[in-house]
Structure 1
Amino acid sequence: MLLVFMLSADASASVTMLGTRVVYPADAGEQILRFSNPDDHPNLVQLWLDDGHAARSDGLASPFLVIPPVFRVEPHGGQVVRLSYVGDALPQDRESLFFLNFLQVPALKAASVNDNQLVLTVRSRMKVFYRPAALAAEADAARAPDALSFAIELGDGAASMVVRNASGYHLMVQQADLLLGDQRQVLARTTVIQPFQELRWSLERMPADLAGMRMQLRLLNDVGVEVQRDYPVR
């Protein structure tokens, strides 16, 4: 009997892709993705993309084409995959976000298929940013956090931090803290602020004195490096 279990992206996957995200320039004919297998045994991998809402794994809901969509990676070997955008035109004033999924399962020998085994299938998930030509400059992407602003609003007896992103970029927040003196209040962890989005983070407590208050964000840049930024609060 063959037992197959699927684990989430938090599971330890052997086959890995170079990089922590994919930035796909709109004027690129294709993007090259590189996978490696550090294991002593081969692994099978299936790839597909979705827009964050589709759960299907056949790729039919995706505007991207991946070649090859299924492949075998030999022990300590690698695989090159070509990613191409083949869908309709997307907004040109902001990034569009998709997700690359890769499902990995160890390759079994034909003689062992009927043996009692536990096979762990691992699904990993990575963000893909489709970046229009108007936003393609690396310097502009590096300045995108400058477009964030923060203000406290009161309503219905509760306080919230209003966050505004005036840029066309997705901003990846590892952690957002409200600071006042030596006091720290965590408002968000591992979240995405979308282009031109306004959102609200609830405050557990409203500081009595707003002077000197600031927001401190730990952000991930295009290459997955964490950058710390401080912002005034209005």
Structure 2
Amino acid sequence: MIPGRSLLLWGLLLTSFTSVASVVMTGNRVIYPASSREVSVQLTNKDAFPNVIQAWVDQGDEASTPQTARAPFMLTPPMFRLAPHSGHTLRLRYTGAAAPTDRESLYWLNILQIPPSDPNQAKNQLQVVLKTCVKVLYRPANLKGNPAKMEDTTHIWLENQGQKRVLHLHNDSGYYLALSSLNLAGPGSKAQIASRTVAPFETLRVPVTLNRIEPGATMTWINDQGSVVTRPVASARQAD
């Protein structure tokens, strides 16, 4: 492991980039079925040079380090050298801590990519360290809903709250909804809700200027395979 003092230095130099990281993971999230003994995570180094990889799982703390992270998972190996144009497999094992059985639990896999030092680099230049954060979804069996048909358990409606009109989007399933956008129209105005993660059985509330929801509202979301899916979404009721 990197010593604590070195970790502080890496933290000062670290930049969170997902799109530019040259060490990439197969898939856009990790699904961990509760019945599994362990799951594998495949990493690939697209660089022409080796990278040192350090990985850990946390509960959503952006400032976590391998020493401070708290999550019920064992990850092996936690640190290794990834050769140029090669792959490596991380093994993730759930340690058996108590978790809800009626819904998914969300954790985050942190992948720190440390490039080699350049002997020709000026001493006062910073070395950029890249960190990618990926969702880890611990998934019990027999949850309400279907992760491939989230539109069936997602409902929207409008309500008056004082002088405001508030759009409600309710995820009535045991799965996390990776909402990319919600597109709906009303008399004389339109509204588009940007991407959000909606937890199981959670209701998202957003102020809007609509008077009512017209037929044809659509929800775009990201499924387990990382594909973007657009489906009609049902309006549960209208505001008075």
With the length of structure 2 as denominator, give the TM-score of the two structures.
0.85
1:191 aligns with 2:205: no
TM-aligned CA deviation for residue 172 of structure 1? 0.5
Alpha-carbon separation, structure 2, partners of 1:40 and 1:148: 45
- Contact residue 187 and residue 210 of structure 2 kept, 8 A: no
Instruction: Quote the residue 1:146 is aligned against.
Output: 152
Higher share in strand: 1
CA contact (8 A) 1:11 1:122 kept: no
Decide whether the 8 Å contact of 2:171 with 2:198 is kept in 1. Answer: yes
Q: Which residue does the alignment assign to 1:201?
A: 206
Q: Which runs of 5+ in 2 are unaligned?
A: 1-8
* Aligned: 1:93 with 2:95: no
Q: Residue 132 of structure 1 is aligned with which of 135, 140, 143?
A: 140
What's the CA shift for 1:232? 3.4
Q: Distance in 1 between matches of 2:206 and 2:121?
A: 53
Cα distance change of structure 1 residues 211 and 48 upon mapping to structure 2, 3 Å threshold: closer
1:70-115 residue CA offsets vs partner (Å, 9 max, x unmatched): 0111011111110001141211100000011111111237xx3996
C-alpha distance in 1 between matches for 2:167 and 2:121: 58
* Structure 1 residue aligned with 2:65: 57
Deviation at 1:181, TM superposition (A): 7.4
Distance in 2 separating the partners of 1:168 and 1:41: 43
Count of matched residue pairs: 225
TM superposition shift of 1:213? 4.0
Q: Which amino acid aligns with 2:158?
A: I
Amino acid at match of 2:226: G
Cα distance in 2 for residues equivalent to 1:90 and 1:183: 43
Cα deviation digits, residues 43-74 of structure 1 (max 9, x gap): 01110111113622115412111100101110
Question: Helix, strand or coil for the counterpart of 1:57?
Answer: coil
* Structure 2: distance between partners of 1:144 and 1:173: 10
Alignment partner for residue 52 of structure 2, among 39, 44, 67? 44
Aligned partner of 2:4 in structure 1 is none
How far apart in 2 are the matches of 1:108 and 1:10? 21
Aligned CA-pair RMSD: 2.5
Paired with 1:56 and 1:13, the residues of 2 have a C-alpha distance of 19
In the aligned structure 2, how far is the partner of 1:211 from the partner of 1:197? 20
Among 14, 26, 36, which residue is 1:6 paired with? Answer: 14
SS at match of 2:142: helix
> Structure 1: any 5+ residue segments left out of the alignment?
none
Q: CA deviation at 1:176?
A: 1.3
Secondary structure of 2:147's aligned partner: helix
Counterpart of 2:173, as a letter, is S
- SS of 1:56's equivalent in the other structure is coil
State the 1:11 CA deviation: 5.5
SS at match of 2:127: strand
Change (3 A) 1:69 1:43: same
Percent of paired sites with the same residue: 33
Quick check: 58-67 or 33-42, which moved more?
A: 58-67
* Cα displacement (A) at 1:212: 3.0
- Whether the 8 Å contact between 2:75 and 2:90 is mirrored in structure 1 is yes
Q: Hey, what does 1:222 align to over in structure 2?
A: 224
